[in-house]
Amino acid sequence: MAEEAAPEASDTLLAVRAGEGDEAAFEVLVRRHGAGLLRLASHLLGDRADAEDAVQEAFVSAWRRLPEFRGDAAFESWMFRIVTNRCLNQLRSRRGTAPLESVSEPVAPGHLTSPARTVESTAAVRALHAALARLSPEQRACWVLREFHGLSYQDIARAVGISQQAARGRIFRARRYLTEAMEAWR
């Protein structure tokens, strides 16, 4: 099995081997990156089941397209792009607002919570979910990739299929909108 033989093997090597039909190498890639890709899809779609479907479809697509993988970008960046595109397509087909339930609220230590504080925090998180849902799918994707996953502007541009300048612009507009939308909670 590929993981037993070389658990430290690079993603690029594993992707090349998987592109040659090595299923064990692909399994290592799925285990290595599945959780992060699921978090990305959950942040973008706001629904765990939809996110799981998107990631599964992305891995199936990647398996079919691995012979085309040239290693110009990191395997993870390539998968971010595939997952992001799947999620954007789902969001565009919805044309409604999607709750982003996956944005977790920081948990305060028990002695610092009170019923009033809990209600206030819950309302603030709901307001943030609503504000995020009002962003365009493209702005939301760029913002999530930057703020939740810490991707560089270059990696975001690759993942979404736009220029770096466009990625910076979408993130700037998303931040500006979210700042305005959350002004009452400052």
Q: Judge whether 186 lies within some domain.
A: yes
State the pLDDT at residue 106: 53
Could you tell me if 86 and 150 lie in one domain?
A: no
State the pLDDT at residue 98: 45
Q: Are 108 and 75 in contact (CB under 8 A)?
A: no
Task: Name the CA radius of gyration of the chain, rounded.
Answer: 19
State the pLDDT at residue 184: 83
Residue-number span of the structural domain to which 40 is assigned = 1-95
Confidence of residue 129 (pLDDT cuts 50, 70, 90): confident
Q: How far is CA 100 from the centre of its chain?
A: 12
Q: Mind giving me the DSSP string for 10-44? A: -HHHHHHHHHTT-HHHHHHHHHHHHHHHHHHHHHH
Q: Which pTM was predicted?
A: 0.68
Could you tell me if 120 and 37 lie in one domain?
A: no
Could you tell me if 84 and 128 lie in one domain?
A: no
Q: Are 28 and 37 in contact (CB under 8 A)?
A: no
Of 27-31, 42-46, 118-122, 123-127, where does mean pLDDT reach its minimum? 118-122
Could you tell me if 121 and 89 lie in one domain?
A: no
State the pLDDT at residue 105: 53
The total domain count for the chain is 2
Average of per-residue pLDDT across 162-175: 94
Could you tell me if 75 and 132 lie in one domain?
A: no
Could you tell me if 44 and 118 lie in one domain?
A: no
Q: Judge whether 108 lies within some domain.
A: no
CATH of the domain at 7: 1.10.1740.10
Q: What confidence tens digit (pLDDT) does each residue in 20-40 have?
A: 999 999 999 999 999 999 999
Confidence of residue 113 (pLDDT cuts 50, 70, 90): low
Could you tell me if 175 and 143 lie in one domain?
A: yes
Could you tell me if 83 and 132 lie in one domain?
A: no
Where does a domain end: 95, 126, 152? 95
Confidence of residue 146 (pLDDT cuts 50, 70, 90): very high
State the pLDDT at residue 153: 93
